[in-house]
Amino acid sequence: MPYPKPTLRPATEQDIPSLLPLVLTSFRSFPLFSYLHSPLDNNLDLFHDTIYHWTARFLIGILDERTEVVVAEVPGGSLDSGEGGGGEGGEGAREERERSEEVMRMGWEAMGWLERMGMDMSKGEEEMVVVGFAIWEGRGAEGGKMGDGDGNGEVGEKLQAIIQEVNEHTAHSPRQDQDPLRMEAFKISEANLRKQFYNLPNPTLYLDALCVDFRYQRRGIGKQLLETGLNLAKVKGWDVWTEASPMGLGLYLKMGFRQVGEFVVGEPDVGGGIRMPVLKCEVGSLGGAEGEVRK
């Protein structure tokens, strides 16, 4: 029986309680996130920190006219605990299976914590379940605005208030869910990355985050979420940029991206860092994207 095709739509503030578990159960296994948030490996209660900051991050993304947060949802009865597709044979396949097993382990571990905290993850068969999200960010000239409007003063004030509150909170309560030395190295590397690749004269679209529920991976949802941004880029005439995990590189190359560099944090050659491909998709090469965000 084929899996149902997800509905894609812009996220709302009401989606945030459904998005947060995806960060803890699924985005946590993204190599860079896992590297920077290594304290979570020894103390899941630090998830409280993660929840606070990602609540703000989603809210800022939803309110900011330079950002589009897209969610993928399916009927509740279609979500199971399967591991998705797999492969056989070869060293690459073995590494892929081991990676999938680690993703599942981390996902169920986080699910257990959420249940212990009293967060009900169950959904009825008639209810829609959010199983993935993508955060797209407009960059470059004119602020990379997604829409054509002049903005809303009330929304702008709310956005600035949230940013100020988070900054004040962080100043008085430093994050415990991140490794401070690794975060410092990340900030330096990110600043260099922006100077080298993202200091662009024209507006561009940047994929800031893409996540699919660990129980619902390898079913084309990531591809469909990626297509939403590619379609937006085609309409606006913008190029698309991102950094990907090495394991996900194949999907991006199939979708028209090409590797133009590397994003290096720490010292990966001696086991103390992360190395990620920097990817660019030129608007002239975009074709065949089918994802549609339902308004």
More confident residue, 2 or 85: 2
- CB crowding 96-133: b at 16 or more within 10 Å, else e: eeeebeebbebbeebbebbeeeeeeeebeeeebbbbbb
- Nearest by Cα to 197 from 85, 280, 264, 286: 280
Residue 275 tokens, joined:
């190395």
CA distances for 183 relative to 36, 229, 274, 278, angstroms:
6, 28, 12, 19
- Which position has the higher pLDDT, 104 or 125? 104
Q: What angle do CA 69, 48, 266 make, to 5 degrees?
A: 75
What is the model's pLDDT at position 82? Answer: 47
Residue ranges of domains in the chain = 7-285
* CA 216 remoteness from chain centre: 15
pTM of this prediction? 0.85
Residue 73 pairs in a beta bridge with 7, 130
- Given pLDDT bands bounded at 50, 70 and 90, which one contains residue 147? low
Mean pLDDT over residues 66-74, rounded?
95
Q: Is pLDDT of 87 > 50?
A: no
Question: Does 113 score more than 70 pLDDT?
Answer: yes
Compare 143 and 64 and report the one with higher pLDDT: 64
Total length of the chain: 295
- Residues 100, 105, 109: CA angle, nearest 5 degrees: 150
* pLDDT average, residue stretch 132-157: 74
pLDDT value at residue 156: 81
Query: Could you give the dihedral angle defined by the CA atoms of residues 116, 118, 123 and 128, in that order, rounded to the nearest 10 degrees?
Result: -110
pLDDT in tens, 10-47: 999 999 999 999 999 999 989 999 999 999 999 999 99
Helix and strand numbers (H, E) in the chain are: 8, 7
Is it the case that residue 204 has pLDDT exceeding 60?
A: yes
Closest to 195 in 3D by CA, of 245, 263, 136: 263
Q: What does the pLDDT read at residue 118? A: 78
Pick the CATH number of 7-285 from 3.20.20.140, 3.40.50.300, 1.10.274.50, 3.40.630.30: 3.40.630.30
Q: Which of 50-64, 121-135, 231-245, 279-293 has the lowest mean pLDDT?
A: 279-293
Report the range of poorest mean pLDDT among 137-151, 216-230, 260-274.
Answer: 137-151
